[in-house]
Amino acid sequence: MSRIQPPDFGELSPDISDVLFTAEQIQARVNALAAEISAEYRDKNPVLVGVLKGVLFFMADLLKALPIAAEVDFLSVANYSTDSRSQGLVRLVKDLETPIEGRHILFVEDVIDTGLTLNYLLRTLRARQPASLEVCVLFNKPDKRLIDIPLRFKGFDIPDRFVVGYGLDFREKYRNLPYVGSLKPSVISLKSGK
């Protein structure tokens, strides 16, 4: 893992201990993923489905690098509580606007940890009988995976560390960092947990 000093990003920089991926590294990987996806989905007019809000940057950069016809839609979830989250109970706060029956669906995720959230959402979408349903994830954390989910397109495997930036937050903060980095332990323990 690289130990690059965080580039200056104003008042957020002092909270970051080290950079896992620079904006340039992320962009290069996203472009490569877009090329893979384009080859697979040409003439299929897929619907790229993202979960708000963490996927914001990834979805935007992926779409901009995708030279095929594609649609985009979003859903939003809330975890019931820290406890029930461990059972994968999530509530759909905002549903898709697109009817997905018979459509090719590419589920675009920023980060997968246990896989419980994604598993619930995939089951929900599968019940609507899409023509196909695949997953594209940018940051995969394999260490704490509880449910095996096939990941058709994958950006990076990352260690079991809490990371922020490029859309990922800690208590709604740090999403706007252009790179992905780890928070200093002192910052996390001050506010305890996510």
Binding site for ligand IMP (CB under 6 A): 54, 111-118, 162-164, 168
* Cα 48–chain centre separation: 12
Query: Catalytic residue among 113, 148, 160, 169, which?
Result: 113
- Which option in ligand IMP, Mg ion, none does residue 163 bind, with CB closer than 5 to 8 A by kind? ligand IMP
The string of DSSP letters for 123-183 reads HHHHTT--SEEEEEEEEE--TT--S----SEEEEE--S--EEBTTB-BTTBSTT-SSEEEE
Question: Is residue 18 flagged as an active site residue?
Answer: no
> CB 172 → ligand IMP: shortest distance, Å?
11
Contact between 54 and Mg ion per CB under 5 A: yes
Q: Which lies closer to ligand IMP via its Cβ, residue 39 or residue 193? A: 193
Identity of residue 165: G
Span from 31-39, 40-48, 110-118, 164-172 in contact with Mg ion (CB under 5 A): 110-118
Contact between 51 and Mg ion per CB under 5 A: yes
The residues that are catalytic are 113
